[in-house]
Structure 1
Amino acid sequence: MLDTIVDPSPDGVAVAPALVGGKWIDDGPVAERIGPFTRLAVSRASVAQPADAAAAAEYARAASRSVGRLAPATRAEILDRAAALAARRREDIARLLALELGKPLKDGLGELDRVADTFAVCAAEARRIGGDVLPVAGWARGIGNTALTYRAPAGVALAITPFNAPANLLAHKLGASFAAGNSTIVKAPPQAPAVSAAVVALLLEAGAPVEAVQLLHGGGEIGAALCAAPEVAVISFTGSAETGEAVARAAGAKRLVLELGGNAATIVCDDADLAAAAKTCARTGYSNSGQSCISVQRVYVQRPLLETFVDLLTAEVEALKVGDPLDPATDVGSMVDEAAAERVLSWATEAVEGGARITVGGTRDGATLNPTVVAEPPADASVVVREVFGALVTVLPFDDFDTVLQTCNASRFGLQAGLFTRDIGRILTAWRELEVGGLVVNGSSNYRLDHVPFGGVKDSGFGRESPHYMVEDYTVVKTLMLRGMSIWGDN
């Protein structure tokens, strides 16, 4: 099936089948994905109906028993093969990313490298699943007994993935869930159906039993039906804060891992290497057209250095190549659709009307927004207080370090921040005071290692997305109490 998905049909449109009840489905109602750069149909997905959600949940409940009986070593071996296969098929799936999302080929290849790493880390975490011998005999009432625990599969997991990194974020959710021994239902983003189908097919081709995963395409109504299904034990969702709230309402009393929005700040202090900071912010503020929850959005620069930094950043941004995402030299492709590009451009215009200046960019061609720098926007401008999620970076001055930390914390989001300084005192203060899930020192907010805990606070969600922590979320602790049988002694 992987070959069928990644190789276009005679009309050049990739097929994105659903997988329900152990069978690939490519008939029934379909939805075409129009590529944001080509403006042509690039993939065709089989859209789920309400009955499909119920059927998938019922099948997953029964299938979870057989998946859970696979030894951790068996799951790990399959995940290792999936990692190797992702590395071999990286160009094929990166091409789908370029077509469906306008993501530059170089970014897509990087994402597939991360998919391979993620599956490999999930394999390692499968091998670490175990339990504890509890110190029950340390208290008088426990003398003469033995108690053990182990981490058992939760049963049925639901993975709802976003469009901006659909391959790697699916690898995180599906890989960790399979490592834990669950049967997983994947609800794919409508903007990346073929990429999602390719990752699911990749795991099956690596040897995962068909009972391990199902894939449904569709909109919010299918996601809501799956969230409400009583068979689902745990839900992992990545997306906007507003949709995350809807997921929580539909889910009710289920275990949730929510990785939501961001409004990432990066602080550049007076002892920073300005040229290096500007280059880093340019490279990480516009990768994937800024469509990342940790993309560089707000850069606070110590006031005496502001103009120098703006000039350096502007020069770096002007050097970025904008164009066809299938061109290996392209740095910035298109955004997910024309409406998204128009929204970001309108926010830039609003900032200029409030006194800001655009030093580069500020124009678009369809869904392609030319990389834009907005200098000194008003503190209440949309580009400052809302999540831009686009190819735009703002630059603002600050005078006092403690005050700029408070300014950063004024956001309703708290996912990740960057800090350029050599001052260990500032580093420790920022680590303690910033209301974020992670701080990157001498790097921008947009840096992530897939085996390191990742997640936020406040409206950026809760839970941590890295295989180790996700396996904990995807499992339950089961206790065995042996009364009158002690490994500790009876007196």
Structure 2
Amino acid sequence: MQDPEPFLVGGEWRTSPAVLDVTDPYLGRTVASVCLAGREDCNDAIHAAESGFEQMRDLPAYRRSECLIAMADYLEEHADEAAELIISEAGKPRRSAEGEVIRSADTLRVSAEESRRICGEILPLDWTEGGEGRTGYLYRVPVGIVLGITPFNFPLNLACHKLGPALAAGNACILKPASKTPLSSLFLGEAALAAGVPPEAISVVPCLSETAEAMVRDLRISMVSFTGSPEVGWHLQAAARTPRVGLELGGNAAVIVHEDADLAYAAARIVQGAFSYSGQTCISVQRVLVHHAVYEEMRLLICERAASLVTGDPSAPETDVGPMISEFAAMAAEKKIQEAVDAGAVCCTGGIREGAVLHPTVLENTDPAMGVNATELFAPGITLTPYQTWAEAIALAAETPYGLQAGIFTNDLTRIHQAARGIPVGGLIVNDIPTFRMDHMPYGGTKRSGFGREGPRSAIREMTEERLVVINQRVGP
């Protein structure tokens, strides 16, 4: 076994006696060890970021853009290495891992573009008496130090969604990666230094949860950007000393398929959105609502496609569905599925677990109170439910504490507008699945799914603040 990987503090690679083993979810073997940052290391990271922020704030937009473009170039030049890291630590199937590297480079390039577009506004103040000769100028300025806390499911791209906009806006950034997938973020730290980012402006600190919470509570942190579970996210929001907390949390996304939909296309997209990366995506398809007139046809189409997916070794090019992040996670999902079956649900296909691999599962005859509907399954499983009217479908889709994204398949403009008004989500995807996301689009949720928006342009707005300058153009002495 090679020496433990160091972590990054203000451009300095450090080691520590505390070590975290990184485990391959499919084979169950240790693929690397990573040194854990302690309280003192994280304090040093914040101290370095104070200086790094001053440097980033003074960098002109074109230099920030050049750094981000160079980071994207680095990722593309080392794409095979990055994909192997994602496969080994996250268990992501090869095609999906390679796609994530491409998306990560795109996220950085979009951030580079947006770094040149942080515009202001001129505000005439002579609307009323007393404002003569005065003009207001609205600027957006960086907030300071951004603490980005990332999950395991997109270990590289979601780190880019924190770091890219933070640097584009002129902030310093500290990344705290998920304990199961720290290698991708450390790789991104290498890319940042190679690209010429001021060293003090970037730290990557794998650490214990209590150490991360101490950073969240630190007054020097200007913004916390968190992606992960609702329980942890809302806890950190309450603990933070800054009011700037962005939360991108979970969901149990619904899809409505009406009778006028292209059923074959809808079925193909639903299977793609439900079982990609074993359903471990916060906008993974979970609840499928189908008009009663086409329910049987849709059930057959979805089950046939789900049963044909190749499960197993994520490193094999032909694999569609690999392992979940751990056998424990697969067992937890299997338990929810079994509880639903015990309560009367019917398993149409799947329901089989082999270690950390849970086969694509389709359930019907469920009710909204079952865990497979009422909670985030975060696994390769969906429920099918028939409905009679469009109003009923909207009500069922909205019957959840979450509100990240939803999908509808219909060609009726009136129904589309009714769904947009009636389903409280951050994004409604028409004639496609809620799993659809382009990295430059605004992305975030409502209710228990969090608040704030990601996507470089939206995130830059979250990571800057508006400053008003009023100029009095006095005439005379």
TM category (shorter chain) comes to over 0.9
Q: Secondary structure at the match of 2:165?
A: helix
For the pair 1:466 / 2:455, whether they are aligned, the reply is yes
Alpha-carbon RMSD across the aligned residues, in angstroms, is 1.5
Unaligned runs of 5+ in 1: 1-10
Provide the TM-score with structure 1 as the length reference: 0.94
Distance of aligned partners of 1:178 and 1:350 in 2 relative to their CA distance in 1, 3 Å threshold: same
Query: Counterpart of 1:86?
Result: 75
The 5 A counterparts of 1:158-237 are 158-237=147-226
Cα deviations by residue, 1:8-33 (Å, 9 ceiling, x for unpaired): xxx3x695421113311134211101
Identity of aligned residues (%): 38
Cα distance in 1 for residues equivalent to 2:208 and 2:410 = 44
Counterpart selection for 1:371 from 356, 360, 364: 360
In 2, Cα distance between equivalents of 1:253 and 1:174: 19
Aligned equivalents of 2:447 and 2:357: distance in 1? Answer: 31
CA–CA distance in structure 1, aligned partners of residues 439 and 160 of structure 2? 10
- SS state at 1:95 partner: helix
Unmatched tracts of structure 2, length 5 or more = none
TM-aligned CA distance change 1:476 to 1:397, over 3 Å: same
C-alpha change, 1:471 and 1:127, in structure 2 (3 Å) is same
Structure 2 length normalisation: TM-score?
0.97
Alpha carbons 1:43, 1:193 under 8 Å: kept: no
Counterpart code for 1:465? E
> Is residue 388 of structure 2 the alignment partner of residue 399 of structure 1?
yes
Task: Say how many residue pairs are matched.
Answer: 476
Deviation larger for 452-461 or 425-434: 425-434
2:379 matched residue in structure 1? 390
SS at match of 1:440: strand
* SS, match of residue 424 in structure 2: coil
| 1:286-340 per-position Cα deviation (integer Å, ceiling 9, x unaligned) | 1111000100000001123222211111110111111111111111110010111
8 Å CA contact 2:424, 2:446 repeated in 1: yes
Residue type of the alignment partner of 2:309: L
Q: Please tell me the residue identity of whatever aligns with 1:197.
A: L
**Could you say which residue in structure 1 is the equivalent of 2:346?**
357
AA in 2 matched with 1:79:
L
The C-alpha deviation readout for 1:386-425, integer Å capped at 9, x for no partner, is 0000111111111111112111111000000011111111
CA–CA distance in structure 2, aligned partners of residues 421 and 89 of structure 1: 42
Aligned to 2:95, what secondary structure does the other structure show?
Answer: helix
Q: Give the match for residue 410 of structure 2.
A: 421
Question: Match for 1:133 among 103, 116, 122?
Answer: 122
Aligned residue among 281, 300, 307 for 2:296: 307
Q: Which moved more, 1:443-452 or 1:89-98?
A: 89-98
1:103 aligns with 2:56: no
1:156 equivalent among 129, 142, 145? 145
The Cα of 1:44 is off from its aligned counterpart by 1.1
Q: Secondary structure at the match of 2:420?
A: helix
Aligned-residue offset at 1:279: 1.1
Picking from 31, 47, 55, the partner of 1:66 is 55
1:287 maps to 276
* Alignment partner, residue 4 of structure 1: none
Contact kept in structure 2, 1:93 and 1:112, CA below 8 Å? yes
| Aligned partner of residue 141 in structure 2, secondary structure | strand
Alignment pair present for 1:444 and 2:433:
yes
| CA distance in structure 2 between the aligned counterparts of 1:82 and 1:53, rounded to whole angstroms | 24
Q: Residue 237 of structure 2 aligns to which amino acid in structure 1?
A: A
State the match for 1:298 in structure 2: 287
